[in-house]
Amino acid sequence: MSDSEETTPPLRSQQSIVMQAAPLIQGIMPPKPLDTTSNITENWKQFKQIWENYAIITNLTAQTEQYRVALFLHCLGPDAMKIYNGMQFANETDRRNLSKIIEKFDEFTIREANETYERYIFNGRNQGQDESFDAYITALRSLAKTCGFCDCLADSLLRDRIVLGISNHTLRKRLLQERKLHLKKCIDLCRNSEDASSQIKNISGASSTTDDVHRLRVQATKPPWKPKYDRNAKHHKHQKRKICKFCGGNHPLKKELCPAWQKRCQKCNGRNHFATVCKKGQVHGVHGLSEQPELDGDERNDSYESSDYEFLAVIAVEPSIHAIEQTSGYAREIYTEMMINNKKIKFQIDCEGSINIITKCHTTGSHVTSSNKTLKM
């Protein structure tokens, strides 16, 4: 071999070229396979964007062209690989060039948008029932990109779509009341309303939990059940003693031991209590009337056991002097008088009808006047 002849270095294999390239950063997830089954245009745009970021993060530009093409086709997935195999390239070199492959996929997936239809989709996009406002505004911005809106109208059209499309009717009314509503203010109001609703739910849930815990604690500390007082028992080890509300004294709670038993009050002429404990004159306002018949036997002992008893008024029922009388020939209303706090009060009796019907056997000896009235159901 002469000195003039140059020594030709041995050819390196493709494998050695790949091995000498910069090492690929590990731990970064590659893009998911391209979904070609639905809206391939949007799916390709998203795949392309993720691939570009992945190439930068992993320093993919330092690898060989053959390695980058192989990795790109691997990430596309089997469905997109079929599309790649059917593409027409100028030559075999272009088929192995990553930039040419991406251009072909742009031509295949990105078609000229129908502006009218894209605006129809944009104007019909409403917020879902469980969709957050941030997710809704993100979807609107994505749809607006293909609508061809000019810069001077894009914000106002997006604002109008938010006002008309949100699911909260109360918030929509609030937005319509704003005279100068720009896009930023509209977005801020919607976000604040959603945050406030979420906070109120959390507060209400915490209050409900506290109430439930308090209720459980109260039930846990409730004293155990005790049997009712046995009125038929003949022997009691201990007799209850407290201030008697009928005589004002202190004695066992038995009516026979009360000095006011079967005595008349000098103040109201009532029975079974003294004038010193009479409630007449102390009632400033009567909110209801309770019929208080005379107690006999062990019934009065039960009244001693009730600590919730509160005297308001007594209706003295004396059947001997309260006869129901008819005030006219064909009376439509029936009245009677009753003694309340030693005063006669006139009451109207509700008999569920202006005229009562009784059998003929109960009218023996009475004159029945003919009537031209007709009863109707």
Which string of DSSP letters, residue by residue, matches 78-134? HHHHHHHHT---SSHHHHT-HHHHHHHHHHHH-PPP-HHHHHHHHHT----TT--HH
Candidates 169, 168, 173, 161; CA nearest to 194 is 168
Least confident of 160-169, 174-183, 249-258, 361-370: 361-370
Question: Where is 250: in which H helix or E strand?
Answer: strand 250-252
- pLDDT tens digits, one per residue of 278-287: 877 554 444 4
297 φ, ψ to 5°? 65, -140
25 φ, ψ to 5°? -70, 130
DSSP state of 264: B
pLDDT at 365 (0 to 100)? 65
Using the predicted structure, report yes or no on whether residue 1 has a pLDDT greater than 70: no
Which residue is listed with tokens 């409730």?
222
Candidates 135, 183, 140; CA nearest to 159 is 183
Alpha helices in 145-279 (DSSP H): 151-165, 169-176, 183-220
Token pair for 332: 């439509």
Question: SS3 for 356?
Answer: coil
Residues 6+ apart with CB under 8 A from 324: 334, 336, 349
For the chain, report the end-to-end CA distance as a whole number of angstroms: 136
Which residue is listed with tokens 């930039």?
99
**Pairing assessment for the beta strands 343-348 and 335-340 based on DSSP bridges:** antiparallel
When pLDDT is cut at 50, 70 and 90, the band that residue 61 belongs to is confident
Residues 6+ apart with CB under 8 A from 231: 298, 301, 302
Bigger pLDDT: 16 or 254?
254
Q: Please answer whether residues 167 and 128 qualify as being in contact, where contact means their C-beta atoms are separated by less than 8 angstroms.
A: yes
Angstrom CA distances, 231 to 219, 228, 362, stand at 29, 9, 43
Mean pLDDT throughout 178-202? Answer: 92
Q: Please answer whether residues 372 and 346 qualify as being in contact, where contact means their C-beta atoms are separated by less than 8 angstroms.
A: no
Q: What percent of the chain is predicted at pLDDT more than 90? A: 32
pLDDT at 212 (0 to 100)? 62
- Output b/e per residue, 221-247; b: 16+ Cβ within 10 A: eeeeeeeeeeeeeeeeeeeeeeebbbb
- pLDDT tens digits, one per residue of 12-26: 444 444 444 556 667
DSSP states of 180-214? S--HHHHHHHHHHHHHHHHHHHHHHHHHHHHHHHH
pLDDT at 28 (0 to 100)? 81
Least confident of 75-89, 126-140, 250-264, 276-290: 276-290
Angle at 315 between CA 310 and CA 316, to 5 degrees: 125
pLDDT at 355 (0 to 100)? 61
Token pair for 260: 């006011």
Token pair for 115: 């502006």
Angle at 118 between CA 112 and CA 123, to 5 degrees: 170
181 φ, ψ to 5°? -100, 105
Tell me if the pTM is above 0.85. no
Token pair for 82: 């079929």
Mean pLDDT throughout 358-370? Answer: 67
